[in-house]
A and B are shown apart, each in its own frame.
Chain A
């Protein structure tokens, strides 16, 4: 089945130690998104790629970076994780930017900081 796959499902890292979360998709969608979701809250958009064009949200900390080496893969890099970065990270795709396009989400990566 075509889908959005996130690895790993659970990630534990140390305070200040860089960590990379990965996302792949077989939907061939143009747009890929990264969200941060803290417990019982709405997902918060960090950034998105439309094809190779990167769009950062104004309030996304500089600590968060992203790479999209090709259509299928997108990575979230957290350069120096702090305790406040512990959260669920959701990757999503959509076919394009149209208002009628649903987003397709991966299962998420739950990040813990020691």
Chain B
């Protein structure tokens, strides 16, 4: 079974609108972290936001927020007020505390296109 599932290969959003990128995960490890990374067409992978399994509140970083629903095992990324520069591929990733410690499992990514 896939550990990280991103069901949206591509998404479109109008500039200045909000968009949600979906991510579901599968683990039996009680200690885990969920990460979102942005990869523009130039190739560099940029860390955006982190949510820990024990965190009580949803993470936020500027225009990025993480909608963490632990019981449903989902960790959706919300980008508010989309900008043209947000067009990129977005990867959801997980690190487990005890299983495969130190290694990240990546989803297949979602390509986001922001329309002017």
A residues with CB within 8 A of B: 31, 40-43, 45, 48, 50, 88, 90, 92, 94, 96-108, 110
CB proximity to A under 8 Å, residues B59-116:
89, 91, 95-97, 101-104, 106-109, 111
Chain A neighbourhood of B102, CB < 8 A: 31, 48, 50, 94, 96-98
Chain A neighbourhood of B25, CB < 8 A: none
Q: Is the CB of A100 within 8 A of B50?
A: yes
Chain A neighbourhood of B104, CB < 8 A: 45, 103
Q: Is the CB of A102 within 8 A of B108?
A: no
With A100-B50, A107-B42 as known contacts, state yes or no: A42 contacts B106, CB within 8 Å: yes
Q: Is the CB of A99 within 8 A of B42?
A: no
Taking a contact as CB atoms closer than 8 A, the residue among A98, A104, A106 that contacts B47 in the complex is: A104
Query: How near does chain A come to B83, taking the closest CB pair, in angstroms?
Result: 21
Chain B neighbourhood of A100, CB < 8 A: 33, 50, 52, 95
With A40-B109, A108-B44 as known contacts, state yes or no: A99 contacts B52, CB within 8 Å: yes
Q: Is the CB of B95 within 8 A of A99?
A: yes
Q: Is the CB of A45 within 8 A of B103?
A: yes
Chain A neighbourhood of B95, CB < 8 A: 98-101
Query: How near does chain B come to A82, taking the closest CB pair, in angstroms?
Result: 22
Q: Is the CB of A110 within 8 A of B106?
A: no
CB proximity to A under 8 Å, residues B29-61:
31-33, 35, 37, 42-47, 50, 52-53
Taking a contact as CB atoms closer than 8 A, the residue among A92, A97, A103, A106 that contacts B101 in the complex is: A97
A-B contact sample (7 more), CB < 8 A, given A42-B106, A105-B37:
A42-B107, A98-B95, A99-B31, A99-B96, A99-B97, A107-B44, A108-B44
